[in-house]
């Protein structure tokens, strides 16, 4: 069993971002373990940042009961109503404990909810699952078919990362957006170019944020846009980042990058969060 549950973070991605009443219900079951909710109506997706292993189960059970994958429409790729469930060791816990929590959660999801789970971590990455699910990959836990209304879950153990979006101006073309995503991708940055309404978004996961943080990712895009007939409109942090990652960035740039002390995991742990 995993015992350092108070220092494991879990960042649950739910395939719902438009029904605020329903999201309020989901937030309510998380209680004091909820650190943040990031809602995106265009993606029709919300990111719940939680502490411990109990809240992810309460949230997932409620979401499976209330949501139906066939009713979902949104820009972001997804496999299930509870789409991604990564366990992340904070100071005081280890990757071994995060992996234990991942495996225990997946067994619980299959046994209690009947939802099959793909596992990611050192064995394979989340992008691997997105590319190969239901073709060359079947769920690691549960049967080979998805749940009739909830689909499947991607349950992982990983280090801290930063999810960060850069929104392009309205006159940025699809060709330019995809070129930007390709050229920025790699070296600690995973990217998708997503068409959101009448604009394009470069959606990024910064998987080594102490080395490549939001400032570096933003600057790489900013250096390329003059050559692509594109421009940056604004940027946003999805969820939270660590205090250490924030302190690597000059405080003079925090406003420009949509960051601040209140967007750190440590701040929310000490000050709490209310949906």
Digit-coded pLDDT (tens) for 70-124: 888 776 778 999 999 999 999 889 999 999 999 999 999 999 999 999 999 998 9
pLDDT value of position 3: 43
Which overall architecture, per CATH, does domain 5-157 show? 2-Layer Sandwich (3.30)
pLDDT value of position 91: 87
pLDDT value of position 158: 97
Pairing mode of beta strands 153-157, 82-89: parallel
* Pairwise pLDDT comparison (74 vs 231), residue with the higher score: 231
Pairing mode of beta strands 82-89, 45-51: unpaired
164-191: average pLDDT: 94
pLDDT above 50 for 4 = no
As beta bridge partners, residue 188 has: none
Domains in the chain: boundaries: 5-157, 162-271
162-175: average pLDDT: 94
- Left, alpha or beta for 123 (phi > 0: left; psi -120 to 50: alpha)? alpha
pLDDT value of position 176: 94
Structure confidence by residue, pLDDT tens digits, 212-223: 999 999 999 999
11-29: average pLDDT: 97
Eight-state DSSP code of residue 86: E
Range of lowest pLDDT (23-37, 65-79, 187-201, 206-220):
65-79
pLDDT value of position 134: 93
Which CATH code fits 162-271?
A: 3.30.70.670
As beta bridge partners, residue 235 has: 166
Residues 6+ apart with CB under 8 A from 52: 5, 6, 8, 10, 33
241-250: average pLDDT: 97
- pTM of the complete model beyond 0.75: yes
Average pLDDT over the chain, rounded to an integer? 94
Identify whether the C-beta of residue 236 lies closer than 8 Å to the C-beta of residue 167: yes
């Amino acid at each position: 069993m995993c015992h350092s549950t108070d220092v494991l973070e879990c960042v649950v991605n739910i395939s719902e971002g438009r029904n605020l009443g329903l999201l309020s219900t989901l937030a309510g079951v998380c209680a004091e373990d909820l650190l943040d909710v990031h809602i995106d109506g265009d993606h029709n997706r919300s990111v719940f940042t939680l502490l411990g292993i109990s809240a992810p189960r309460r949230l997932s059970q409620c979401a499976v009961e209330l949501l139906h994958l066939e009713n979902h429409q949104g820009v972001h790729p997804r496999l299930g109503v509870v789409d991604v469930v990564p366990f992340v060791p904070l100071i005081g816990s280890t990757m071994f404990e995060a992996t234990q929590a991942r495996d225990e959660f997946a067994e619980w999801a299959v046994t209690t909810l009947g939802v099959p789970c793909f596992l990611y971590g050192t064995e394979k990455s989340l992008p691997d699952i997105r590319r190969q699910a239901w073709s060359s990959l079947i769920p690691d836990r549960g049967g080979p078919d998805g749940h009739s209304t909830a689909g499947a879950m991607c349950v992982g153990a990983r280090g801290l990362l930063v999810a960060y979006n850069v929104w392009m101006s309205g006159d940025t073309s699809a060709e330019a957006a995809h070129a930007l995503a390709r050229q920025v991708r790699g070296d600690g940055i995973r990217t998708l170019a997503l068409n959101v309404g009448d604009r394009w978004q470069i959606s990024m996961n910064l998987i080594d944020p102490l080395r490549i943080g939001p400032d570096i990712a933003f600057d790489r895009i900013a250096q390329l846009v003059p050559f692509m007939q594109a421009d940056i409109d604004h940027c946003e942090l999805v969820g939270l980042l660590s205090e250490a990652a924030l302190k690597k960035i000059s405080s003079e740039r925090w406003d420009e990058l949509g960051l601040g002390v209140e967007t750190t995991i440590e701040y929310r742990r000490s000050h709490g969060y209310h949906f």
